[in-house]
């Protein structure tokens, strides 16, 4: 009997190497005992015959004969890549048995009626579904700064052993921050762009943070009582995940009150004006006729109720400008992005972080500037679970200028830095030829000098070969802004 001990990290590669060697040697499935990590080794403690042990892809004692090249169908490798993360202790044996059978019957993988193939396909689907749930339901808590990067941590209880194969999703999605994901099986720490896996620890006591209330607000807003299908909702968001999701607390209450709220909506419906009329009404009520808010708090409160254009409907919240009211510099971007929409603060996501780095190099102090956007709500198209940025159109920029003008009135900056074409359009009325006009000083309608530069998101989208030159130009513009402010002081 052969015993194969697979490592907890790199399990797939180790299984593949061992299976390839065993197959090349002609070792039949019934003569192999597989296990991964210490926990599974215990399961086999009495059953195993420790005659020959294989650790990873090394035989203990007996030297490994060189493996002959074994080719397997591509579909099998894809299947194995998922199945190895299933919690079924028999998964490695099942895979090896199928691999063994494929030697004589290469078309077997297509045979949906074969119980071995069927079972492994179902296992692969279960793992895929679990990975998908993990990408949707991990809820990070903010641990604050521990250096230049923000730190986040989450506790998650997956059904299968999927932290390692799902980590690349989080590396890509949250590459701009440090994070840890704790699971009952394994821990992943992503620090400075590198992931390190460590053994599981007891569930850590993670702090509550403001994002939890945002999740609840978001969930409350997308919940439509008239379209409630409890079963479908629970299939999409199974109960087992609820205890680690702040918004799930609301579900029982929302379900309980759904019927009466749906009835109230139905009764009110005939009296509602058509959407277009409502929008026109809102526009008539809001703009020039509206009271002008006095002070930043009043401005924020007004912004929270802004219905001047339809962008408020899908955004989580408006994002007002922030910074000292006596700031000599006002920095204007396009609109909040995904991160800003959730945080309620401008330039906290990847573009903001790049801006901070370049500004520091250029000697420009963000904490002495009033930072804002031309448009205050996030405009996006949903694509699966992601929200893809969409540029605001001319009407949206025009409607939102009401708020930008108010901010400018309050701050009375000596200089405005317009980053990107949307800011340029809002401030000067003309968005054309941004790259020709960058580095120049123009004037806003009230005469405030406007220094034109590109948007930091533009730099993030450039191919690596073009980025250094463009970043140097951006840095030069920021240095020019810092120089103008210093000279005026």
Q: Which of 454, 434, 424, 431 is nearest to 358 (CA)?
A: 454
Asked if 316 is part of the footprint of ligand URA (rule: CB under 6 A), the reply reads no
Instruction: Give bridge partners of residue 451 from the DSSP assignment.
Output: 417, 441
Q: Which of 185, 184, 132 is nearest to 9 (CA)?
A: 185
Among 57, 178, 334, 407, indicate the residue that binds ligand URA (CB under 6 A): 334
Asked if 337 is part of the footprint of ligand URA (rule: CB under 6 A), the reply reads yes
d(CA 83, CA 344): 41
Among 320, 328, 352, 392, indicate the residue that binds ligand URA (CB under 6 A): 352
Q: Which of 139, 129, 164, 342 is nearest to 242 (CA)?
A: 139
Among 109, 161, 351, 452, indicate the residue that binds ligand URA (CB under 6 A): 351
Asked if 318 is part of the footprint of ligand URA (rule: CB under 6 A), the reply reads no
* Sole window of 54-62, 244-252, 274-282, 348-356 interacting with ligand URA (rule: CB under 6 A): 348-356
Closest residue to ligand URA, judged by C-beta, is: 333
Among 8, 164, 185, 340, indicate the residue that binds ligand URA (CB under 6 A): 340
Distances in Å between the alpha carbon of 7 and those of 15, 91, 183, 296?
9, 15, 17, 57
HSE at residue 262, side-chain half, CA atoms within 13 A, is 13
Work out the angle at residue 72's Cα, subtended by the Cα atoms of residues 66 and 78, and round it to the nearest 5 degrees.
120
* Sole window of 63-71, 95-103, 156-164, 333-341 interacting with ligand URA (rule: CB under 6 A): 333-341
Distances in Å between the alpha carbon of 25 and those of 30, 94, 392?
14, 18, 63
In the complex, the smallest distance separating the C-beta of residue 295 from ligand URA, rounded to whole angstroms, is 22
In the complex, the smallest distance separating the C-beta of residue 198 from ligand URA, rounded to whole angstroms, is 34
- Return the structure tokens found at 346: 């401008």
Residue 158 or 320 with smaller CB distance to ligand URA = 320
In the complex, the smallest distance separating the C-beta of residue 211 from ligand URA, rounded to whole angstroms, is 17
Residue 29 or 321 with smaller CB distance to ligand URA = 321
In the complex, the smallest distance separating the C-beta of residue 378 from ligand URA, rounded to whole angstroms, is 9
Asked if 336 is part of the footprint of ligand URA (rule: CB under 6 A), the reply reads yes
In the complex, the smallest distance separating the C-beta of residue 78 from ligand URA, rounded to whole angstroms, is 37
Asked if 373 is part of the footprint of ligand URA (rule: CB under 6 A), the reply reads yes
* Sole window of 57-65, 290-298, 339-347, 358-366 interacting with ligand URA (rule: CB under 6 A): 339-347
**Which are the contacts of 395, defined by CB distance < 8 A and separation ≥ 6?**
309
Residue 138 or 374 with smaller CB distance to ligand URA = 374
How many residues bind to ligand URA according to rule CB under 6 A? 13
Residue 303 in contact with residue 318, Cβ under 8 Å?
Answer: yes
Label the pairing between strands 52-55 and 380-383: unpaired
d(CA 33, CA 16): 15
Q: Identify the helix (H) or strand (E) that includes residue 399.
A: helix 394-411
Q: Which of 319, 330, 313, 237 is nearest to 278 (CA)?
A: 313
Distances in Å between the alpha carbon of 269 and those of 57, 250, 260, 309, 334?
67, 25, 14, 22, 36
Asked if 475 is part of the footprint of ligand URA (rule: CB under 6 A), the reply reads no
In the complex, the smallest distance separating the C-beta of residue 194 from ligand URA, rounded to whole angstroms, is 26
Residue 338 or 405 with smaller CB distance to ligand URA = 338
* Sole window of 86-94, 216-224, 251-259, 349-357 interacting with ligand URA (rule: CB under 6 A): 349-357
Q: Is 108 helix (H, G, I), strand (E, B) or coil?
A: helix
271: left (phi over 0), alpha (psi -120 to 50) or beta: alpha
Asked if 323 is part of the footprint of ligand URA (rule: CB under 6 A), the reply reads no
Asked if 347 is part of the footprint of ligand URA (rule: CB under 6 A), the reply reads yes
Among 321, 323, 349, 413, indicate the residue that binds ligand URA (CB under 6 A): 349
* Sole window of 117-125, 207-215, 331-339, 356-364 interacting with ligand URA (rule: CB under 6 A): 331-339
* Sole window of 29-37, 45-53, 332-340, 357-365 interacting with ligand URA (rule: CB under 6 A): 332-340
In the complex, the smallest distance separating the C-beta of residue 25 from ligand URA, rounded to whole angstroms, is 57
Rounded-to-5 percentages of helix, strand, coil across the chain:
50, 15, 35
Residue 139 in contact with residue 152, Cβ under 8 Å?
Answer: no
In the complex, the smallest distance separating the C-beta of residue 453 from ligand URA, rounded to whole angstroms, is 12
* Sole window of 201-209, 344-352, 379-387, 425-433 interacting with ligand URA (rule: CB under 6 A): 344-352
In the complex, the smallest distance separating the C-beta of residue 154 from ligand URA, rounded to whole angstroms, is 24
Among 302, 346, 392, 413, indicate the residue that binds ligand URA (CB under 6 A): 346
Asked if 335 is part of the footprint of ligand URA (rule: CB under 6 A), the reply reads yes
Binding to ligand URA, residues 414-473 (CB under 6 A): 457
Label the pairing between strands 32-36 and 2-6: parallel
Work out the angle at residue 192's Cα, subtended by the Cα atoms of residues 188 and 193, and round it to the nearest 5 degrees.
70
In the complex, the smallest distance separating the C-beta of residue 340 from ligand URA, rounded to whole angstroms, is 4
Q: Identify the helix (H) or strand (E) that includes residue 210.
A: helix 210-222
Rule CB under 6 A: which residues touch ligand URA? 333-337, 340, 346-347, 349, 351-352, 373, 457
């Amino acid at each position: 009997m052969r015993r194969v001990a697979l490592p907890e990290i790199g399990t797939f590669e180790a299984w593949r190497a061992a299976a390839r060697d065993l197959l090349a040697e002609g070792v039949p499935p019934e003569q192999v005992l597989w296990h991964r990590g210490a926990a599974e080794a215990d399961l086999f403690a009495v059953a195993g015959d420790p005659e020959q042990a294989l650790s990873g892809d090394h035989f203990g004692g007996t030297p490994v004969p060189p493996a002959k090249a074994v080719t397997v169908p591509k579909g099998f490798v894809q299947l194995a890549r998922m199945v190895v993360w299933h919690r079924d202790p028999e998964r490695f044996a099942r895979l090896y048995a199928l691999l063994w059978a494929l030697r004589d019957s290469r078309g077997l993988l297509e045979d949906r009626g074969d119980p071995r193939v069927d079972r492994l396909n179902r296992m692969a689907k279960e793992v895929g579904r679990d990975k998908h749930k993990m990408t949707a339901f991990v809820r990070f808590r903010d641990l604050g700064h521990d250096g230049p990067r923000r730190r986040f941590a989450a506790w998650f209880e997956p059904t299968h052993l999927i932290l390692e194969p799902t980590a690349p999703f989080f590396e890509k999605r949250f590459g701009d921050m440090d994070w840890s994901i704790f699971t009952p099986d394994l821990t992943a720490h992503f620090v400075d762009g590198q992931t390190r896996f460590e053994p599981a620890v007891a569930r850590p006591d993670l702090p509550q943070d403001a994002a939890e209330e945002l999740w609840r607000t978001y969930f409350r807003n997308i919940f439509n009582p008239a379209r409630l299908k409890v079963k479908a909702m629970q299939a999409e968001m199974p109960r087992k995940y609820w205890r680690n999701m702040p918004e799930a607390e609301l579900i029982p209450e929302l379900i309980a009150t759904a019927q009466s709220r749906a009835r109230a909506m139905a009764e009110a419906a005939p009296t509602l004006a058509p959407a277009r009329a409502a929008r026109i009404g809102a526009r008539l009520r809001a703009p020039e006729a509206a009271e002008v808010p006095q002070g930043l708090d009043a401005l924020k409160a007004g912004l929270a109720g802004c219905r001047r254009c339809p962008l408020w409907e899908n955004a989580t919240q408006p994002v007002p400008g922030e910074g000292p009211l006596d700031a000599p510099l006002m920095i204007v971007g396009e609109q909040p992005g995904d991160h800003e929409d959730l945080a309620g603060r401008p330039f906290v996501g990847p573009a903001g972080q790049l801006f901070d780095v370049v500004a520091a190099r250029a000697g420009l102090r963000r904490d002495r500037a009033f930072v804002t956007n031309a448009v205050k709500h996030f405009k996006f198209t949903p694509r699966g679970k992601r929200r893809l940025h969409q540029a605001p159109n001319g009407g949206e920029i025009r409607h939102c200028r009401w708020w930008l003008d108010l901010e400018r009135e309050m701050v009375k900056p000596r200089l405005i830095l317009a980053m990107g074409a949307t800011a340029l359009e809002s401030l000067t009325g003309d968005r054309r030829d941004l790259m020709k006009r960058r580095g120049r000083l123009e004037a806003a309608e009230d005469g405030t000098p406007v220094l034109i530069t590109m948007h930091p998101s533009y730099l993030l989208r450039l191919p690596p070969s073009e980025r250094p030159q463009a970043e140097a130009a951006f840095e030069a513009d920021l240095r020019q802004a810092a120089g103008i402010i210093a000279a005026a002081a």
